[in-house]
């Protein structure tokens, strides 16, 4: 029951990407530096988010990552599933029919009650994650966070974002 460490990084990056203007992008390298992570490792997770259609990637200079859809349409569940995989945490190994006194397979047509209970709990977990949109995270961040952090984050985004439409970045 240990959630991968990359989930935290993924959500932070997604929240930061929600702050870029228009369809501009933010390089993974900049985000890694912003959060003190090894760039190569963060790329691994950003790649997973891209494969899950949560982010879009733009190659080449002035490339980077961008949200694949508005922050209102991205939930924490999307991000968690993209990083941790879509299959449930509890996988029933059907050990009830693995024992030495196994019965005829026809006896095991009904699902294992333990599996049902565990999956029910996990469904509650996913429901709670699905109920939190990325835009909620951003709103809560801008409202209930020390304004120094908000200002610093906005400044960082403004300085590192790469506009995509016919404009080059200004340096320094």
Partner DNA sequence: GTAGTGTTACTCGGATAAATATTGTCCGAGTGACATCGG
Partner DNA sequence: CCGATGTCACTCGGACAATATTTATCCGAGTAACACTAC
Binding partner of residue 71 among a second copy, DNA, none, CB cut-off 5 to 8 Å per kind = none
24 three-state secondary structure:
coil
Which of 36, 61, 99, 113 is the binder for DNA (CB under 7 A)? 61
Residue 58 touches DNA, criterion: CB under 7 A: yes
Which of 11, 33, 63, 138 is the binder for DNA (CB under 7 A)? 63
Calpha distance 110→73 (Å, rounded): 37
Residue 46 touches DNA, criterion: CB under 7 A: yes
What track of x and - describes contact with a second copy for positions 69 through 108 (by CB under 8 A)? -------x---x---xx---xxxxx-xx-xxxx-xx-xxx
Give 15's DSSP letter. H
The number of CA neighbours under 13 Å toward the Cβ of 14 is: 36
Nearer to a second copy, 63 or 88 (CB): 88
Residue 154 touches a second copy, criterion: CB under 8 A: no
Task: Return the closest-CA partner of residue 79 out of 24, 157, 134.
Answer: 134
99 three-state secondary structure:
coil
């Amino acid at each position: 029951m240990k959630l991968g460490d990359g989930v935290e990084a993924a959500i932070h990056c997604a929240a930061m990407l929600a702050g870029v203007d228009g369809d501009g992008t933010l390089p993974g390298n900049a985000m890694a530096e912003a959060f003190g992570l090894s760039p190569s490792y963060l790329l691994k997770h950003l790649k997973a988010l891209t494969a899950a259609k949560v982010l879009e990637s733009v190659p080449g200079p002035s490339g980077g990552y961008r949200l694949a859809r508005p922050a209102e349409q991205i939930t924490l569940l999307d991000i968690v599933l993209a990083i941790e995989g879509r299959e449930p945490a509890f996988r029933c190994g059907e050990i009830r029919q693995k024992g030495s006194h196994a019965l005829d397979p026809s006896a095991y047509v009904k699902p294992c009650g333990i599996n049902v209970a565990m999956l029910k709990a996990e469904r509650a977990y996913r429901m709670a994650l699905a109920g939190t949109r990325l835009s909620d995270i951003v709103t809560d961040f801008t409202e209930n966070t020390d304004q120094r952090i908000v200002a610093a984050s906005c400044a960082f985004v403004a300085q590192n974002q790469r506009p995509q439409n016919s404009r080059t970045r200004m340096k320094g």
